[in-house]
Amino acid sequence: MARMIGAEMFFETLIHEGIDVVFGLPGGYVLKVYDVMPKYSDRIRHVLARHEQGATHMADGYARASGKPGVVLCTSGPAATNTVTGIATAQMDSSPVVVFTGQVPLPYLGSDAFQEADHIGITRPCTKHNYLVRRTKDLPLAIKEAFYIAGTGRPSPVLVDMPKDVLIGEDEFVIPGEISLRGYKPPKKGHPGQIKRAVEMILAAKRPLIFGGGGLIWSGATEELKELTHRLQIPVTLTLMGLGAYPADDPLFISMLGMHGSYAANMAVHECDLVISIGARFDDRATGGNFAKFAPNAKIIHIDIDPATIDKNIVVHCPIVGDAKEVLKQMLEMLPAKVKTSRKEWMGQIKDWQKQHPLTYNQNGDKILTSYVIDTLSKITDGEAVVVSDVGQHQMWVAQWYKFKYPRTHITSGGLGTMGFGFPAAMGAKFARPDKMVISVCGDGSFQMNMQELATAVENNMDIKIVLLNNGHHGMVRQWQTMFFNGNYSASKFDVLPDFVKLAESFGAKGLKAKRPEDLEATLKEGLSTEGVVLMEIFVDCEELVYPMIAPGGAMNEMILGPGTQLENMADVADMA
């Protein structure tokens, strides 16, 4: 056993856990960690973010693109509180981010010392677990447990608070053995009796539907899902977080469901007789929010790793707690190798819905439509890029128009809806997937929330693309004001915006601009084929609205399909969400 200080134990344990990149920013109480960091720079890369929120989104993007935990390192007080939005974002979308914070020395805890904050109390509601390490020798175990908890069961963020005296203290360094925590035994396989019951329900159903979420991606269940759906000819719709879990070009794939899902997908949920939900949590955006009217003619099978989601929003008929991949394997083993199905009428009905109200746009006139931008981007890249969208209208158009083929290629803040997430998360994704083209699609409003990370991207010689859609407004706020607040555009228009091309150039990045539809394709092709950090500013029509839209608090068959759709209670529904 070697003796070493806590700061050295920190790096030694990270290396043992297979961590090779840390996103962080130095400060007073972690300076000893940064002091020893050069000794480990050949095995761990440190990315110096310009803001701790940016660092946390980078770690989150890294985790989502790689499937491995993302790591954040920062000091105490404001640095730690700056990570909270990123932690809550990761928690809502089930992303394994491990945040290490410095803390005042133990004797000063509770004394209102300089840059002291209660990191444990502040992050308790948005972490799966958190630690305040009180002895140097306990640091390796706390770190190892943090990674174990973050990455098992339902992935979630964990915080480890490291007082300064723990980091500078010296003790024997021992790598802990296999982690086993009393009271924490995340399930893998589902209950065989429930699996048998689910299989019987599926075989008996006339109009079954797969309702897939992000849990499919985290469990790596795509191949098992494809085998199940093709063997039984079951159509598939996905939540926003599930996009990529099933190939968009598969004939059984309908499209995204939910508030801005397609007419066909939402009608399929409303009219099916069996919902097979896998790795989704039935949140208000995926269901329309009127839980009592959800799939009124259907029985519901709910497969999820987190028992807390079962019966939380929707009462289910067959709950199965387990890992999606393992449960699907169990189902496949119980099913006959060949199954006679009679889905012709059901699939025909879905195709009719697709024909009645397809996703569409009409690119005429001088103004560029955002839907046209995303459709063009999808065609140019052939769905092969990792696309990280921010939050707002463009996020929904990305979900509707980009044809995702593979898991971990669609990354967005779906649960918390964190504006400013997109660009730093795209940087994290690029560190995780240097072999792939990574594109940050953001709005002018969202990009301004973390645009300081342009410096980080250029400093690290990143090959990353930014498609910035400039409509001069907070677009989704403007859409709701148009639809539900009689066009009262209160505080949604920007009177001052930077010249984003000049801004990019001031950081050493390349900037391009497109203002007319005929310039779009050439601008995108030039930007995507230019090495380095490239920002493409696309001026888009602020009056374009995202359709379809389930009226807030409405059922899934209550969709606003276009400007001509009027609901009797249009002014009231805004208060429902």
Cβ distance 266 to 556 under 8 Å? Answer: yes
Q: How far apart are CA 25 and CA 51, in angstroms?
A: 7
Catalytic residue among 58, 476, 549, 559: 476
How far does Cα 170 stand from its chain's mean position?
Answer: 39
- Any catalytic annotation for residue 259? no
Query: CA angle at residue 108 from 107 to 111, to 5 degrees?
Result: 135
Catalytic residue among 8, 12, 17, 52: 52
Judged on CB neighbours under 10 Å (0-12, 13-18, 19+), 380 is middle
Residue 477, both tokens: 């706020």
Judged on CB neighbours under 10 Å (0-12, 13-18, 19+), 356 is exposed
How far does Cα 286 stand from its chain's mean position?
Answer: 14
Cβ distance 382 to 532 under 8 Å? Answer: no
Catalytic residue among 39, 114, 200, 493: 114
- Any catalytic annotation for residue 114? yes
Nearest Cα to 94, choosing from 223, 259, 281? 281
Q: How far apart are CA 136 and CA 163, in angstroms?
A: 9
Residues in the chain: 577
* DSSP bridge partners of 2: 173
Looking up tokens 């009217």, which residue turns up? 293
- The helix-helix angle for 139-151 and 6-16 (nearest 10°) equals 30
Cβ distance 212 to 278 under 8 Å? Answer: yes
Residue 274, both tokens: 């069996």
- The helix-helix angle for 475-484 and 393-401 (nearest 10°) equals 100
- Any catalytic annotation for residue 115? yes
Alpha carbons within 13 A on the beta-carbon side of 556: 28
Cis peptide before 105 (omega within 30 of 0): no
Kindly state the helix (H) or strand (E) to which residue 103 belongs, with its residue range.
strand 97-103
Catalytic residue among 4, 68, 115, 513: 115
- Any catalytic annotation for residue 448? no
- Any catalytic annotation for residue 52? yes
How much helix, strand and coil, in percent to the nearest 5, is found in the chain?
40, 20, 40
Residue 43, both tokens: 């095995």
Catalytic (active-site) positions: 52, 114-115, 164, 476
